[in-house]
């Protein structure tokens, strides 16, 4: 989430300026390893963004160990992760790019698949599964692709809505090309 908000906040900056911000952020490890260093550095980088655009972070209140997103100008917390994800997936009409993650990411993938297959919000939106560099079969090896194949197949063997919008890709350029 921080990456999306940082990208939006720095969208008025040049590529070289953004690269400096990213390089600076790489100087500290994960939040769990050094919470104060992580937040302090993020706030330093946020202060370097001269004209931030308005951005929204939508974290879940349940995860108290996660800090508020320092690159968001507005924060809207949900008390339930499933409600949060349902809302975010509902408004992502141009599609979603899924990156390797934990249980929350898996939940989002299958919740999006169900919303697409059942056309919960009128029409399906692209689901782009981006494999990490160096691990071209991440999603296949995890069993996610096989499970999605099953989820998008009805009892008669026909494909459900949204199957044609599912893409398993290896690069950011391919991911962007598959969004609506």
Mean pLDDT by 10 residues, the chain (180 residues): 83 91 86 83 88 77 68 81 82 91 88 92 92 91 95 95 95 91
Predicted pLDDT at 65: 64
Predicted pLDDT at 58: 78
Q: Are residues 171 and 132 in the same domain?
A: yes
Residue 69 within any structural domain of the chain = yes
The reported pTM is 0.73
Residue 173 within any structural domain of the chain = yes
Q: Are residues 98 and 157 in the same domain?
A: yes
Q: Are residues 64 and 103 in the same domain?
A: no
Question: Which domain-ending residue is among 18, 45, 75?
Answer: 75
Nearest to 85, CA basis, from 52, 120, 53: 120
Q: Are residues 102 and 171 in the same domain?
A: yes
Q: Are residues 32 and 107 in the same domain?
A: no
Q: Are residues 56 and 126 in the same domain?
A: no
Residue 30 within any structural domain of the chain = yes
Nearest to 13, CA basis, from 48, 41, 43: 48
Question: Which domain-ending residue is among 75, 110, 130?
Answer: 75
Q: Are residues 58 and 105 in the same domain?
A: no
**Number of separate domains in the chain:** 2
Q: Are residues 68 and 107 in the same domain?
A: no
Predicted pLDDT at 52: 67
Residue 86 within any structural domain of the chain = no
CA distances from 47 to 25, 42, 106, 143 (A): 13, 9, 34, 42
Predicted pLDDT at 111: 92
Predicted pLDDT at 38: 85
Residue 84 within any structural domain of the chain = no
Residue 47 within any structural domain of the chain = yes
Q: Are residues 65 and 12 in the same domain?
A: yes
* In contact, 128 and 100? CB cutoff 8 Å: no
Q: Which residue reads 């995860």 in tokens? A: 63
* In contact, 62 and 80? CB cutoff 8 Å: yes
Q: Are residues 116 and 163 in the same domain?
A: yes
Can you name the residues that pair with 98 across neighbouring β-strands? 129
Q: Are residues 70 and 115 in the same domain?
A: no
Q: The domain containing residue 134 runs over which residues?
A: 93-177
Residue 82 within any structural domain of the chain = no
Predicted pLDDT at 158: 96
Q: Are strands 56-57 and 74-75 parallel, antiparallel or unpaired?
A: parallel
Predicted pLDDT at 66: 65
């Amino acid at each position: 989430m921080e990456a999306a908000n940082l990208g939006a906040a720095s969208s008025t900056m040049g590529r070289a300026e953004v690269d400096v911000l990213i390089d600076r952020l790489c100087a500290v490890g994960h939040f769990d390893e050094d919470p104060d260093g992580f937040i302090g550095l993020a706030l330093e980088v946020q202060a370097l963004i001269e004209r931030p655009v308005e951005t929204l972070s939508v974290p879940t209140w349940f995860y108290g160990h996660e800090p508020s997103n320092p690159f968001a100008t507005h924060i809207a917390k949900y008390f339930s992760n499933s409600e949060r994800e349902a809302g975010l997936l509902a408004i992502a009409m141009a599609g979603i790019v899924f990156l390797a993650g934990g249980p929350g990411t898996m939940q989002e993938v299958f919740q999006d698949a169900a919303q697409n297959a059942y056309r919960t919000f009128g029409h399906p939106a692209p689901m782009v599964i981006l494999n990490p560099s160096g691990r071209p079969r991440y999603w296949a090896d995890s069993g996610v692709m096989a499970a999605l194949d099953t989820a998008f197949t009805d009892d008669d063997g026909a494909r459900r809505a949204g199957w044609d919008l599912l893409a398993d890709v290896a690069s950011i350029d391919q991911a962007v090309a598959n969004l609506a």
